[in-house]
Amino acid sequence: MEAEFSNEGDDRNDDFGRNMRLACSYYPSIALVCRKLGINRPQFNKYLSGTTRPSAHTLQRICDFFGVEAHEIVLPHSRFAQILSVRPARAAAPTADGYVAHLDRLRHQTRGSLDKYLGYYFEYYYSMAFPGSVLRSLFYLYRNDDGVFYRRIERLSHLGQRTSGYRCRYLGIGLHLNERIFLLDYESLTGNELTETILFPTYKSRVNSLTGLKIGVSASDRREPACARVVLQYLGHTIDVRGALRQCGLLQPDTDTVDPDVLRRIDNRQHGGDFHFLGLPF
């Protein structure tokens, strides 16, 4: 339970708020500190302003995070600043935080612009591990707090086979930058691959299909880097997920299991003197 500061300790409480703000200044952002501590931003702002003191348990978590003792964080500000200055190991955020700061900046640029794209899709592209086969996977784009994320499930077995084959699960982040949609993910079951997909947005009021390019590596032993055209076919905000997963897998392009227009859009042959491998917008 959080306790309001009393008037008797205004100076001490002001020192606590100033000390908290100083400790946070060693990190790329206050939002990052809140995420790592698991404390919501409005509550944390009360600590920074000095109007509210954390519970003993929360205070200990905060002190452990900043690398100070509970009695030190309420010392006079000049004394606390001196203590932090002689603890350089605690005065720098871990290296990974630099990446988080960059992503936070890009997520801020994206805020709200991907909302109309949220929901489930079938994703189609020619498999990198099984050349000549079309891979249909289930893609789910969703909002979480102030960011847009997605999950992508691939089943590397031919549709209709009794064996389940391999299953890959990708977790990623979605960004909308200067009229292009960027999707960056990693294979979460093995941690052995990053993929990037770049899509053309749609300017229609309703999302139907999105097209672009995907770059990754094949799941074969040789792990060749590869690039393929990709189509995302919108299914809706709410679907029968199990039913959709049963439709995922490797498909033969010479059957009626894939829409002919989708096949045309994921055709990886180059066209008419292109010097680069280009995506095909709708």
pTM given for the model: 0.65
Q: Tell me which CATH code domain 115-266 carries.
A: 2.40.128
- pLDDT tens digits, 187-235: 888 888 899 999 999 988 899 999 999 999 877 777 889 999 999 999 9
Q: What is the pLDDT of residue 213?
A: 97
129-167 tens-digit pLDDT:
888 999 999 999 999 877 899 999 998 888 876 655 678
Please identify which residue in the block is written with the tokens 């010392």. Answer: 75
Q: What is the pLDDT of residue 163?
A: 59
* Residue whose tokens read 């859009």: 265
| Identical fold between 3-93 and 115-266 | no
The CATH fold assigned to 3-93 is 434 Repressor (Amino-terminal Domain) (1.10.260)
Pairing of strands 166-177, 147-156: antiparallel
Q: How confident is the model at residue 13 (pLDDT cuts 50, 70, 90)?
A: low
Average pLDDT over residues 114-132: 93
Domain ranges in the chain are: 3-93, 115-266
Structure tokens at 13: 């409480």
Looking at residues 46-63, what average pLDDT do you find?
90
